[in-house]
């Protein structure tokens, strides 16, 4: 699998780089809200070939994070200290006592706030890079313990797995063999959905009750036809109800699919939105376009492996 673009060349010194691959939730069920305010989830994570380019350097003075790229919204990414890449580096340093200083560089290509885990992927990539550079690397279990407080997507995006079943708050993971790579079309918008808002809408609309119980088998998750039968996103009806562009794009995709030959195609909201995606090898890109909606369409593929961390020193 090739990265989305060539990674920036690493200068002299100890550094690591990788691609922070975005993810899709091929199904996503949200359980009832706990007394703490959090929700348990049940989801099937799948990495994409699309990703941000991440470089981490440790032979520096001070701490810094620089983000560039067309995916950065006009209003920017907010305070540096709230960036998930920064928070991941700070968490690793606090837990291990190393490194005291670092520089993180991110070239953003994953739409921000689109439900594809772009910020979470950056955090996972930073953790993987620091662990590759560390004189005393953490075990996978220890790395997951650092990843979990950063968000429900970060644990999956911190491990070497292109596909995984996740539950709890995303920290409980079952790695699965990769499914065959398929084409993915992403309809993205110049706005995102704040995850906290999406959970609030979900609670408002269903009165705090969780998604229906569901029994899964490993066989269901071993083929695209099995996954297609399970494809569902609890956020989709509540986000579509409030954002007309999302509802129109989903309707367009499903109308188009009804005339196609691919019976294992999946059209869903990505995460908590606002991106809408189609997994199918049957439709040309020109047919996956939302007419009259302020959107753009990106093309990528599902990943069959996780891009390695490259170390230079």
Alpha-carbon span 204 to 7, nearest angstrom: 44
pLDDT digit string, tens, across residues 14-52: 899 999 999 999 999 998 777 777 788 999 999 999 999
| 9 — pLDDT class (breaks 50, 70, 90) | very low
Which superfamily does CATH assign the domain made up of 183-301 to? GHMP kinase, C-terminal domain (3.30.70.890)
Domain with CATH 3.30.230.10 in the chain: 15-177
Q: Which fold has domain 15-177?
A: Ribosomal Protein S5; domain 2 (3.30.230)
Length of the chain, in residues: 313
Task: Look at residue 2 in the predicted model and tell me its pLDDT.
Answer: 39
Mean pLDDT of 296-309: 95
Task: Look at residue 257 in the predicted model and tell me its pLDDT.
Answer: 81
Q: CA of 275: how far to CAs of 45, 135, 192, 239, 267, in Å?
A: 16, 40, 8, 11, 11
The number of angstroms, rounded, from the C-alpha of 39 to the middle of its chain's C-alpha atoms is 18
Alpha-carbon span 107 to 207, nearest angstrom: 40
Sequence-separated (6 or more) residues with CB below 8 Å from residue 112: 71, 72, 73, 77, 118, 119, 192
Alpha-carbon span 98 to 101, nearest angstrom: 8
Task: Look at residue 8 in the predicted model and tell me its pLDDT.
Answer: 45
Domain with CATH 3.30.70.890 in the chain: 183-301
Alpha-carbon span 100 to 262, nearest angstrom: 52
pLDDT digit string, tens, across residues 60-85: 999 999 999 888 877 778 888 999 99
Predicted model pTM: 0.90
pLDDT digit string, tens, across residues 260-297: 788 899 999 999 989 999 999 876 656 666 666 778 88
Task: Look at residue 286 in the predicted model and tell me its pLDDT.
Answer: 60
User: Which sequence positions are flagged as catalytic?
Assistant: 23, 153
Q: Residue-wise over 4-22: b if at least 16 C-beta within 10 A, else e?
A: beebeebeeeebbbbbbbb
């Amino acid at each position: 699998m090739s990265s989305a673009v060539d990674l920036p060349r690493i200068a002299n010194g100890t550094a690591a780089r990788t691609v922070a691959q975005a993810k899709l939730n091929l199904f996503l069920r949200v359980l009832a809200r706990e007394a703490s305010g959090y929700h348990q989830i049940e989801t099937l994570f799948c990495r994409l070939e699309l990703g941000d380019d991440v470089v981490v350097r440790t032979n520096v003075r001070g701490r810094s994070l620089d983000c560039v790229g067309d995916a950065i919204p006009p209003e920017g990414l907010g305070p540096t200290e709230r960036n998930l890449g920064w928070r991941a580096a700070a968490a690793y340093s606090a837990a291990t006592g190393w490194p005291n200083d670092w520089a993180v560089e991110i070239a953003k290509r994953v739409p921000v706030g689109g439900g594809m885990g772009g910020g979470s992927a950056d955090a996972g990539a930073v953790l993987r890079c620091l662990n590759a550079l560390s004189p005393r690397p953490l075990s996978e279990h220890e790395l997951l313990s650092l990843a979990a407080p950063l968000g429900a997507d970060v644990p999956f995006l911190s491990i070497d797995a292109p596909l995984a079943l996740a539950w709890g708050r995303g920290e409980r993971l079952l790695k699965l063999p990769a499914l065959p790579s398929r084409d993915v079309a992403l309809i993205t918008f110049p706005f995102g959905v704040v995850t906290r808002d999406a959970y609030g809408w979900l609670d408002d609309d269903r009165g705090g009750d969780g998604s229906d119980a569901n029994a899964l088998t490993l066989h269901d998750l071993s083929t695209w036809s099995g996954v297609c039968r399970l494809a569902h996103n609890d956020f989709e009806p509540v986000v579509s109800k409030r954002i007309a562009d999302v509802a129109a794009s989903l309707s367009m995709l499903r109308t188009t699919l009804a005339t196609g030959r691919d019976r294992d195609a999946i059209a869903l909201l990505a995460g908590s939105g606002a991106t809408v995606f189609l997994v199918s090898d049957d439709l040309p890109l020109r047919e996956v376009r939302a007419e009259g909606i302020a959107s753009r369409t990106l093309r990528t593929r599902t990943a069959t492996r996780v891009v390695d961390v490259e170390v230079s020193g």
